[in-house]
Structure formats: structure tokens, C-alpha cells
Amino acid sequence: LTDGLGQNGIGKKLGIVVAGSLANGVDVRLDAGTSVEEVKVGTFVSIQGDRLRFFGVVTDVSLGSTDSSLEATPPDVSNPYIAQVVSGTTAYGTINVEPMLTLGDSDDPSEVLKGPQPAKTVPAHFSQAAQASERDIELVFGTESKDNFWIGSPLDMETKLCLDIPELVKRSNGVFGKSGTGKTFLTRLLLIGILQSGKASNLVFDMQSEYGWKGYKEAGGEVKGLKQLFSSKVAVFSLDEESSKRRGLTPDYVVRVGYEEIEPEDIQMLRETLGLSEVAADASYSLQRRFGPRRWLKEFLSIEDRQAVLDLAQEMNVNEAALSTLHNRLSRLRRFGFMDENSGHDSVSQILRYLERGMHVVLEFGRYGSDLAAYILVANLLTRRIHQRYVQSMEKASGEESEKPRPLVITIEEAHKFLTPAVASQTIFGSIAREMRKYNVTLLIVDQRPSGIDQEVMSQLGTKITCLLDSERDIDAVLAGVSGSRKLRSVLARLESKQQALIFGHALPMPVVIRTRDYGTPESYRLLGFRDAVELKAQMERDVEDLFGSPEG
């Protein structure tokens, strides 16, 4: 074996265990030959105990000395000889390793079959700690396969680290990180992983129109979207046909929303975005009672005259100012080009039809992506109705033993707008996040301000993938309820700002820091199974040749 690996696939030796506890992790004193600078927080480490093999991550790196007077009278390190002698002896490095998993005695087949188990003890004194090898990573995270999606590599390693997609889609998940840290790239990869596994369908509310046809790199340049890579499996719906066409895409369906589809609950969701008071938002329920469930908004907005609105308020016995504000703010909806006075739109059925055929649907918002009100309105409205249908089919399936609908993963961005503590308990997204997989619908939440999301929702997320966060509150929110969170904090706060993420939760056996796999180069597309036209033609020619023999022959 090369690359500094020893025999039996054991990685580079780091040092020996000298102290520690299960609660606080074990301290490993680095060998004289290992510089502290070689070991980074988040590195994946294996420790060979007497009977068990432990896997853990480095959560802290510290400097130690045998002599307390070292700080006051440092040795003469300008002398290279003295520096060489003192480092690793009088002055040494220690790392703190949080043991996460154990693997039983490799001679006992039943232990090996059980696979890695959560660590319930610590390695004995003087156990040897080594950097995890490629084999260790495969042992813990599995090898790349249809269900095991290669998401990136551990720090400083080239090994493929895989996510268990069937496990991932069983629950709602979150991708977090401040802006510009690679959330979109990670999300795109997750969507591809789900698509390739075939374990679930995706419905993406694509706010910035960067998943469907093409996206942009921060450094400049375009990257292919899902439709370009997997055209037969992905349908792009658009709210803004012009914008889609300008970007070179003919959408599969242009979504329109009729006034009759909007319900008072949708207005509740928009309260914060439209700046409505509670009274004003509640007035929509009175309007619904007054004009009838499907007609209220159209009737209300058709009132042009301010005095008429005030009269209506008196008539309905609601606050005049509140109703007038509501009228004002809801008039904004009329400016949305996708709103349609005519009824008879059935975007929901269209979406469901595609999903039933095993397709994945990306809904592009085009220019409306910059209007949060449009995004919240449409996402909420469609999701509520899709969820209703799923609940019906699931109940039908359990009653008649018919086939259950394929699990659906709904991706939403700016999730804190949907899931603030104030609204999470009432909205559809809140209930999807909480009821988990009961109805085969889960969420993929993409957000930069996790502290704005309801705690209960956060605690229900199965797998969290987080890029760099630097606000204390956001870090707290992401790590709330995770064992060893104190240790993960230091790891999370020190992620690099690009292409690095900490992943933990159900889809993988232990928390790990990854370097996200490349996306956006021709090679990366090829690794994702994409064949461009030239390659397809060559393949076809080869196939023809195989069938009929070469023309010369």
C-alpha cells in the first residue's frame, strides 16, 4: 500500500491514547514524528483498542508540555538540534478524539456482521491512534452503489464517502450554511443522489432557477442543471416562461395560479413578508365566510374603491384599517404574471402526473424568485395540495393494500420564512417536517439562517448537512439535540468557506466533515453518468459495429 498507509490498510500512525472519557473524548498524545499541524479538526481517526476498533473524529488539537516553566523560559529553539529534541518530548501535541463507533473483534465473524456500532466505551490506555485508511472509510460508510451516493471525501483523503440515500429520504433533511458556502452545489448533488437511487421523487421549488436547467458558479461560469444531465427523468415547470426561454429552456409546463386556489391559510404564511398584522391576516377568514371559499379573493380584489372597502369592513364587523391594509397588500398579487383570474388551472395534478411517472419536477420561479411573497405563496399552495393527495393515497393504500405512492422529497429554500416558530405549527411545511415519513412526503430544507427555524422542526430533521456557519445562534440551532454537540461546534465553526460541510444524522453512522465532490467540470458530469452527444454517438457506432461487424470487415 502506498500513500503512507501501513499494512492491513491502517493509516498513518498519529500517537497513543493517554487519557480521556466517553463524555469528553479521548486524548491522544502525538508521536514525536507527527506535527500538530498535520492533524486537523474533523479528521477521521481509527484507534485500535485491545478488543475493539474505534472510529472517531478529531475535535480539538492542543499543545502540551511536561514542564510548566516552558512558557516562562522557552528552550533555545533557534538551535535546530534543541528544537528537534524538544518537539514531541518536552513540548508535544495532543488531539482530542471523540469516539463515535466501535467495530468488534475482526476474528469473530458475528461481530463483523453486526457492522460498526455506536461507541459505548473508550479505548484502553496507550491504544494506537491512526489516521483512518480508505478501508476504514468503506467499512463505516459503505462503498459507492446505487443506494450509496458518493457525496464527497473526508478531509485530506481521496476516498469516496457515501450517503445512504434510502435512509436519507425516510425523514426530512436540512442543508445549512451562510450564503456562498456551497449550499446549492450540495443540494444539487443530493437531488442527483435521490434521482439516481430511484428511491424517491423530487419536487424542487427553485427560487433562483439554478437547479432545473443551469446554475452559476460563484467564480463565474455556468453549471448544468438536472434537466441537462438527466433530461428523460426531469421535468422543468416554470412560473415565468419568458425567463426560462431566455435561458435556453422550453419548460415542460407553465404553472398558473388561479385566485380561487388561494386560501386564507396562504395569507397567514405571507403575514411577515407582506407586513400584515394578525388582525389583518385573520380578516381573510371573514372574507372567506362572506364571499365563499373559492371566490373570496377575486371578489375582494375586484373592489376598486377605498370607501367600498371601508363599508365592507363595517358590514363584516372587522377593523377598517386592517381590512384596508389587507386590500392594499393583496393587490400586489395582481402584479404577479402567473396569477390568473380564470379558473380551471390544475398545476397540482400536472405535477402529480409527472411524479407518478417517476419523474422529478423542478419549478423555476424566474423573475418571481426575487419576490419572497411569490415564492412563499406558490410553494405553500402547491405543497398543501400535493400533500393532501399524498395523504389520500397513503390512506387508500393502507386500506386496500394497494401500492403506496413513491416517497416525495420537497426541496424548499429560504426555509426559515416557512418555518418560523410563529407559523411552523400552522403551516403545511411544519406538519410535513413533524409527521415525518408517515405520508411518504419529506422536506429538504435549504437555509442560511437555521436559528430562524422552529426548534421542533429542527429536532425532527433526520440528516443535517451544514456548511460554514458563523453566527453562534445558527450553530446552536443546527447542533441542538445532537450528542457530542459541544465537540462538533469547534469542527463546525472552523469549516472552510468553500466545498466543505459537516454531515451528521440518520443517513450516515457518524458525523463527518467532507470536501464536497466536484460539480461543474466535464469530468464531474461524466462521473455522475452523463454522456454528451459526441460520446453517445461513439457508443452508438460501437454498438452498431458489435451487431453488424465493422464496415471494412
Partner 1 sequence: MGEAEESEEAVYLHNPQLSRLLSTEFHCIAVGHQADGRLLPYLAPLPPKIHSFVYACDTDELLEFSGSQDALAILLFASFGSPDDIVASYLRRASLAHREPDRFLVDAGKELAMLLGGQLRRLNGLLRRLSP
Binding site for partner 1 (CB under 8 A): 32, 66-70, 73, 75-76, 79, 81-82, 84-86, 88-90
Cα separation of the two ends of the chain: 45
CA distance 189 to 503: 14
73/232 with CB nearer partner 1: 73
Question: By C-alpha distance, which of 291, 298, 375, 379 is closest to 341?
Answer: 298
Neighbours of 281 (CB within 10 A): 22
Question: By C-alpha distance, which of 428, 382, 441, 384 is closest to 169?
Answer: 441
Question: By C-alpha distance, which of 103, 99, 100, 123 is closest to 113?
Answer: 103
* Interior angle at CA 7, CA 4 and CA 10, nearest 5: 65
Q: Give the contacts of 278 (CB within 8 A, at least 6 positions apart).
A: 271
Taking the complex as a whole, the smallest distance from the CB of residue 25 to partner 1 amounts, in Å, to 25
82/493 with CB nearer partner 1: 82
Q: Give the contacts of 162 (CB within 8 A, at least 6 positions apart).
A: 141, 142, 143, 144, 145, 148, 149, 150, 151
Taking the complex as a whole, the smallest distance from the CB of residue 126 to partner 1 amounts, in Å, to 15
Taking a C-beta distance cutoff of 8 angstroms, is the pair 272, 234 a contact?
no
Taking the complex as a whole, the smallest distance from the CB of residue 37 to partner 1 amounts, in Å, to 19
Taking the complex as a whole, the smallest distance from the CB of residue 81 to partner 1 amounts, in Å, to 4
Grid coordinates belonging to 463: 440528516
Residue 56, H or E segment = strand 53-65
2/69 with CB nearer partner 1: 69
Taking the complex as a whole, the smallest distance from the CB of residue 71 to partner 1 amounts, in Å, to 10
Taking the complex as a whole, the smallest distance from the CB of residue 85 to partner 1 amounts, in Å, to 3
76/541 with CB nearer partner 1: 76
Taking the complex as a whole, the smallest distance from the CB of residue 62 to partner 1 amounts, in Å, to 18
Neighbours of 417 (CB within 10 A): 24
85/321 with CB nearer partner 1: 85
Taking the complex as a whole, the smallest distance from the CB of residue 35 to partner 1 amounts, in Å, to 15
56/88 with CB nearer partner 1: 88
90/328 with CB nearer partner 1: 90
Question: By C-alpha distance, which of 262, 265, 274, 329 is closest to 298?
Answer: 262
CA distance 70 to 250: 70
Grid coordinates belonging to 512: 463527518
Taking a C-beta distance cutoff of 8 angstroms, is the pair 176, 450 a contact?
yes
1/82 with CB nearer partner 1: 82
5/32 with CB nearer partner 1: 32
Question: By C-alpha distance, which of 34, 51, 459, 90 is closest to 43?
Answer: 34
Taking the complex as a whole, the smallest distance from the CB of residue 94 to partner 1 amounts, in Å, to 15
Residue 140, H or E segment = helix 134-141
Q: What are phi and psi of 279, to 5 degrees?
A: -60, -45
86/326 with CB nearer partner 1: 86
DSSP state of 147: S
Taking the complex as a whole, the smallest distance from the CB of residue 76 to partner 1 amounts, in Å, to 6
CA distance 361 to 205: 9
Taking a C-beta distance cutoff of 8 angstroms, is the pair 373, 332 a contact?
yes
Residue 443's Cβ-side half-sphere holds a number of Cα atoms within 13 Å equal to: 32
CA distance 469 to 465: 11
Taking the complex as a whole, the smallest distance from the CB of residue 66 to partner 1 amounts, in Å, to 4
64/452 with CB nearer partner 1: 64
Cα torsion 447, 448, 450, 453: sign = negative
64/421 with CB nearer partner 1: 64
80/551 with CB nearer partner 1: 80
67/541 with CB nearer partner 1: 67
Taking the complex as a whole, the smallest distance from the CB of residue 67 to partner 1 amounts, in Å, to 4
Beta bridge partners of 48: 53, 128
Taking the complex as a whole, the smallest distance from the CB of residue 30 to partner 1 amounts, in Å, to 14
Question: By C-alpha distance, which of 361, 373, 299, 301 is closest to 336?
Answer: 373
CA distance 263 to 37: 59
Taking a C-beta distance cutoff of 8 angstroms, is the pair 338, 251 a contact?
no
Taking the complex as a whole, the smallest distance from the CB of residue 31 to partner 1 amounts, in Å, to 11
